[in-house]
């Protein structure tokens, strides 16, 4: 399992009975999690939650606040600062398990020792974009949701990265990739976190199982002659790390490039416990 112990402002206090209990800075949130179907490890901690998300049988849900919280607050990861805000869909604007990927991204960019052009697709609030920029890469950040792109710009400001070469694009990722291919653009690094299901800014329908092969085909056309890596995160249930590894390995073997594929679970360790909460998958293709 891929996991990071470097996120000092985030801790998974406990998980079980379909929920997780987390500290974000000095604020404790309690949220649903379908993976946590075991018993509680630390039952006495659960009454300490400052806010609880209740899922509705009709879809979505709402937050119950045990005390007044700020509209948003900040958490730090190493030298980066991110805005955290509870949303109507239980999310906070940040996926802490991705810290394992952030460590990988930063290390690989630094080791390259050369200018790096990076493309971050389905880039959400831009945590990976900030890591790329902090490491010295030039970044193109693409997401279909204007609000998420604005949130990413706020994270850039909070992390003192507004002077870095980051280009923000509000667009359908597939269409943007097709245009970049026609323009003859290439990237040394491509990162993507495609949704299980979604729609683009003009109502374009996206399903992970229908689009992952096309995404990878376009990605290989966009890679530079000497790429560093391709990183895919997935939160789509029902697919194992073997499925993603097989897909990426087939695309690699059909190309002239050489590389190694690592696919594994992303996870968060429950404090004072031997257990981890699985939180999706990551597939890393490192080029030789």
Phi, psi of 170 (to 5 degrees): -100, 110
Contact 246, 271 (CB under 8 A): no
Q: Kindly tell me if the per-residue pLDDT of 9 is higher than 90.
A: yes
Q: Please tell me the predicted confidence (pLDDT) of residue 60.
A: 83
Q: Please tell me the predicted confidence (pLDDT) of residue 201.
A: 61
Res. 207 pLDDT band, cuts 50 70 90: confident
Res. 198 pLDDT band, cuts 50 70 90: confident
Mean pLDDT of the chain: 95
- Measured from the Cβ of residue 150, the count of other Cβ atoms closer than 10 Å reads 12
Q: Greater confidence, 56 or 274? A: 274
Contact 23, 37 (CB under 8 A): no
The pair of three-digit structure tokens given for residue 233, joined into one six-digit string: 């995160």
User: Could you tell me the pTM of the whole model?
Assistant: 0.95
Instruction: Tell me the residue ranges of DSSP E strands in 4-93.
Output: 10-16, 19-24, 27-32, 51-55, 61-65, 73-77, 80-84
- CATH number for the region 96-287 comes to 3.40.50.150
Phi, psi of 287 (to 5 degrees): -90, 145
Q: Please tell me the predicted confidence (pLDDT) of residue 238.
A: 87
Q: Kindly tell me if the per-residue pLDDT of 131 is higher than 90.
A: yes
Q: How far apart are the first and last CA of the chain?
A: 23
Q: Of 149, 145, 124, which Cα lies nearest the Cα of 201?
A: 145
Q: Please tell me the predicted confidence (pLDDT) of residue 58.
A: 78
Cα separations in angstroms, 138 against 76, 128, 130:
22, 12, 10
H or E element that contains 272: none
In the DSSP assignment, the letter for residue 26 is T
Percent of the chain with pLDDT over 90: 90
Domain ranges of the chain: 10-71, 96-287
Contact 100, 127 (CB under 8 A): no
Q: Kindly tell me if the per-residue pLDDT of 178 is higher than 80.
A: yes
pLDDT in tens, 63-94: 999 999 999 999 999 999 999 999 988 999 99
Dihedral angle over CA of 261, 80, 116, 141, nearest 10: 90
Lowest mean pLDDT among 202-206, 230-234, 255-259: 202-206
Q: Kindly tell me if the per-residue pLDDT of 200 is higher than 70.
A: no
Contact 192, 173 (CB under 8 A): yes
Pairing of strands 138-143, 166-170: parallel
Q: Kindly tell me if the per-residue pLDDT of 59 is higher than 90.
A: no
Q: Kindly tell me if the per-residue pLDDT of 57 is higher than 70.
A: yes
10-71 CATH fold: Immunoglobulin-like (2.60.40)
Res. 196 pLDDT band, cuts 50 70 90: confident
169-173: average pLDDT: 95
The order of strands in the sheet holding 229-234 is 166-170, 138-143, 117-121, 189-192, 229-234, 276-287, 259-269
168-182: average pLDDT: 96
């Amino acid at each position: 399992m891929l996991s990071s112990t470097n996120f000092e402002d985030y801790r998974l206090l406990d998980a079980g009975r379909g929920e997780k209990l987390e500290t974000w800075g000095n604020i404790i949130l309690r949220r649903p999690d379908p993976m946590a179907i075991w018993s509680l490890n630390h039952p006495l901690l659960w009454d300490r939650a400052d806010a609880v998300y209740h899922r509705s049988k009709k879809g979505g849900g709402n937050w119950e606040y045990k005390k007044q919280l700020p509209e948003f607050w900040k958490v730090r990861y190493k030298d980066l600062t991110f805005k955290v805000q509870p949303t109507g869909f239980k999310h906070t604007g940040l996926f802490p398990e991705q810290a394992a990927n952030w460590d990988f991204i930063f290390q690989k960019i630094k080791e390259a020792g050369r200018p790096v052009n990076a493309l971050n697709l389905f880039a959400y609030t831009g945590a990976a974009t900030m890591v790329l920029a902090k490491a010295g890469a030039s970044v193109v950040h693409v997401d279909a949701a204007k609000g998420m792109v604005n949130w990413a710009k706020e994270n850039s400001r909070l992390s003192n990265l507004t002077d870095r070469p980051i280009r923000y694009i509000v667009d359908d990722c597939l269409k943007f990739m097709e245009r970049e291919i026609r323009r003859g653009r290439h990237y040394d690094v491509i990162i993507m976190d495609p949704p299980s299901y979604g729609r683009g800014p003009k109502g374009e329908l996206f399903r992970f199982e229908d689009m992952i092969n096309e995404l990878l085909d376009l990605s290989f056309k966009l890679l530079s002659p000497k790429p560093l890596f391709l990183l895919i995160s997935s939160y789509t249930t029902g697919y194992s790390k073997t499925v993603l590894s097989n897909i990426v390995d087939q695309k690699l073997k059909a190309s002239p490039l050489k590389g190694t594929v690592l696919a594994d679970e992303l996870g968060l360790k429950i404090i004072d416990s031997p257990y981890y909460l699985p939180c999706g998958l990551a597939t890393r293709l490192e080029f030789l």
